[in-house]
Amino acid sequence: MRTVFWDYDHDTVNMIDQRQLPWHFEVVAFDDYNEVARAIREMYVRGAPAIGAAAAFGLALAARQSEATDRLALLRDLETAASVLKAARPTAVNLFWAIDRLMRVATNEELETPDDVRRVLLTEAQQLADEDVEINRRMAYIGAELISDGDTILHHCNTGALATVDWGTALGVIFAAHEQGKRIHVLVDETRPRLQGARLTCWELKERGISFDLIADNAAGHFMRTGQVNIVLVGSDRTAANGDVANKIGTYKLAVVAKENGVPFYPVVPTSTIDLNLPNGDMIPIEERGMEEVVTVFGKSIAPEGITARNPAFDVTPHRYVTGIVTEVGIVYPPFEKHLREAVARAQAAKEKA
C-alpha cells in the first residue's frame, strides 16, 4: 500500500496515519483540502516526497470541492487552496514544488472548462505520485553501490516508504542493498522529539527482516568513534544549490561527528528536493514546532511544569561535511554548486524525453 493515494471510488485523499505507528495501522481519508493541509501540518504524513504528493492530491481535491462554474473563478479558488497547503510545512521544498507544478497545469489556457482543469489536475497529481515511486527505486539502487557486504549503516529519522509515496530515499538504499543479498546492519537513531526512527524506521526494517538496533540519539557519536559505523545515510527536506542540506533536527551533529571520525556521510536526495533558487542553507526556512513535543512523550510530561522549550524541526548541515549526495541520476560529489545544477538538468531532460 502507498503512503498517500487517491481513492477513485470516493474521490478522497487517503494516507497512512503515521502518528499511530507502530501500535496501530490506520488509513484515513480526507474530502476537504483544508483537512489535507491539517494532516500535513500535524504529521499524519511526513517526509518531503510524501508531503509533496499529499499536497498535489490536496490541490486536485480543492478543484473538485470548488463550486466554480467558470475557469477563472476556479483558478482563484485554487490559488487560495495553494496558499493554505503551502503554509502547512515551511521547510520541505517538495510541498512548494508539487503545488507549483500543478498550478502550472491548471493555468494552461488550452483548458477551456472547469471540468477540464479538474480532470487534468488529478491526472498530474497521480503522475507526480507514480514518478516519485520510480525515482526512489532508481535512486535506491544507485545508492546501494555505496554499501558493501557486512557494512553497518547509521540512519537518522525515517526515510523509507512512509516518507515517500513508496520505497524510500536513504532507507530505500538500505532496502536495495538487502535485496542484493548484502549482509548489512542498521543503527537506528531514535530521533527525538517525535521518535520517527524508533516508531517508523524500526517498524519498516522489522517488516522487511533487516538486521538493526535502535540507539539513543546521543549514542551515535560513540558508535562512530569506536569504528562501529561504516557509512551514514540520511534524507533531506531541502538541499540548497551549494550542497547545504536541511534535514530532521540532529542531522548536523551526525555529519560533524562523521567527518571527525572519517565516516562517509551521504544524504539521499531526489532532484525535486534540490532548491537551486537558494544559494546556501542559511536561506532555508526552519520550521519551529510547539514545545509540547519536547516536554511530553506520548502525552506524559517529562519536565517540570511551567518551563519553556525550543523545538526546531530541522537543522542545516553545511556542504563541507557532506561526502556526496545520492540522486536518481547518479551520485553527486563536490563541487556541489556545479554538479547539483547538472544533476537537476539531467533529471529534467530525462523527464522531457520520457
Q: Would you call 182 exposed, middle or buried from its count of C-beta atoms within 10 A (0-12, 13-18, 19+)?
A: middle
SS3 (DSSP) at 57: helix
User: Is 100 an annotated catalytic residue?
Assistant: no
Cα(94)–Cα(101) distance, integer angstroms: 10
SS3 (DSSP) at 204: helix
Among 176, 169, 163, which Cα is nearest to 208's? 176
Q: Which amino acid is at 280?
A: N
Cα(214)–Cα(211) distance, integer angstroms: 10
Catalytic residue among 77, 189, 237, 244: 237
Do 168 and 193 touch, CB atoms closer than 8 A?
no
Under 8 Å CB-to-CB from 260, ≥6 apart: which residues?
A: 224
Q: Would you call 54 exposed, middle or buried from its count of C-beta atoms within 10 A (0-12, 13-18, 19+)?
A: buried
C-alpha cell at 332: 553527486
Among 303, 316, 293, 295, which Cα is nearest to 194's? 293
C-alpha cell at 239: 538541499
Cα(140)–Cα(33) distance, integer angstroms: 32
Do 14 and 28 touch, CB atoms closer than 8 A?
yes
C-alpha cell at 22: 507502530
Q: Are strands 245-248 and 296-297 parallel, antiparallel or unpaired?
A: unpaired
What positions carry a catalytic annotation? Answer: 237
